[in-house]
Amino acid sequence: MTELVVSNVQKWLGGLQILKGASFTAERGSIVALLGASGSGKTTLLRCVAGLEQPEIGEIVIGGKTVLDGAKKIALPPEQRNIGLVFQSYALWPHRTVKENVGYGLKLRGVTAADIEKRVQAILERMGLGHLADRFPSQLSGGQQQRVAICRALVYEPRVLLLDEPLSNLDAKLREEARYWIRKLILDLEICAILVTHDQSEALAAADNILLLQDGRIVQQGGPQEIYSNPNSFYSADFLGANNIVRAKVRSVDGSRTVIGGDNWSLDGTVREAAGLAASEDARAVIRVEQISVSDRPEAGGLEMTLDDSIYLGDRWEYRLSRGDFVARAHGARQLSTGTVWARIPSESVWVFSAGQH
């Protein structure tokens, strides 16, 4: 069931158009990640859904209720939108206990003391924080503070939970753990969550749907696997994954197949530029690091390259390869001696775009 509908949202700030017509929907029991480079408009879009910014144009419907209609000048305040909000900073009140932090919003809304007690305790228990109810935020770890912030947003039983970089203050280990339990929580509660993040691995691991923003526009949307393996532009291809970006000339084009090359090398690739490519055009290829396999023995179809260095990364080795002006990184399970190696690079993994596109 669709909980959130965002249609053609356009927003100007300081004389600049920050959002240029964003549209998407979000379903109950799912997580939508807003992903994109710094300044692409992720936070502004989230704030528009929350009611903290008022778009000049567009419509937003939450749980069947129109909360924004630019044409009709409808713009409901955040407290009438049935949303919960969690900020990066958690924004807990330092002089209130955990219990008071979580229950304060309910108090403002005139919920009875007995009801508040019951609801606050229930959500704290659910998040494994029941025993911390009387502590102050300064007596909690970062991870616990973040859970309190999420409790505070969930205690209203919102239809849509809005999370603005909720994990970025946690250390790497806690962050990985938090991705998992936040996802489980949203699915268990059967609500819908919108997660703003600039961290691609967070979006890939936590979200059902990823919206990739560029310069105020949603340039691609889809499931994590679709977005990762089928990018529709250089920006999408470059934004996700660990990549080799290769500058080259288009040698030939035959439908979606192409041959690119540079100084003393050439590679078979696949045209990914929507408008197509022409022979002798300047191009950029994106090759995911994991798509290159390296061997120290001659391999049929392998490109002979020089291994300049093997770098130990703990769980694997990184190889630094070169041939003429083609420089690449690849990974493997063991250390290889510097010198001649053979790199196998499937043509479907060499995504070729025009050099001019951003």
**Helix-helix angle 142-154:113-126, to 10 degrees:** 130
The reply on whether position 92 binds ligand ATP by CB under 6 A is: no
> Which residues 6+ apart lie within 8 Å of 118 measured at CB?
none
Residue 158 CA to residue 179 CA, distance in Å, equals 20
The reply on whether position 14 binds ligand ATP by CB under 6 A is: yes
Task: Please give the size of the binding site for ligand ATP, defined by CB under 6 A.
Answer: 13
Q: Which residue, 39 or 142, has its beta carbon nearer to ligand ATP?
A: 39
Q: Which member of 36, 84, 103, 137 binds ligand ATP (CB under 6 A)?
A: 36
The reply on whether position 197 binds ligand ATP by CB under 6 A is: no
The reply on whether position 22 binds ligand ATP by CB under 6 A is: no
The reply on whether position 119 binds ligand ATP by CB under 6 A is: no
Q: Which member of 26, 33, 40, 48 binds ligand ATP (CB under 6 A)?
A: 40
Q: Which member of 13, 113, 242, 278 binds ligand ATP (CB under 6 A)?
A: 13
Q: Which member of 28, 96, 126, 198 binds ligand ATP (CB under 6 A)?
A: 198
Q: Which member of 9, 18, 246, 305 binds ligand ATP (CB under 6 A)?
A: 18
The reply on whether position 44 binds ligand ATP by CB under 6 A is: yes
Q: Which residue, 39 or 356, has its beta carbon nearer to ligand ATP?
A: 39
DSSP string, 272-296: --TT---TT-EEEEEEEGGG-EEES
As given in the structure block, the two tokens for residue 65 are 């209720």
**Helix or strand holding residue 104 (H, E):** helix 98-108
Counted residue by residue, the chain has a size of: 358
Residue 344 CA to residue 327 CA, distance in Å, equals 14
Is residue 305 helix, strand or coil? strand
State residue 330 phi and psi, 5-degree precision.
Answer: -145, 170
Q: Which member of 1, 38, 72, 358 binds ligand ATP (CB under 6 A)?
A: 38
Bridge-partner residues for 249, per DSSP? 261, 282
Q: Return residues touching ligand ATP (CB under 6 A).
A: 13-14, 16, 18, 36, 38-44, 198
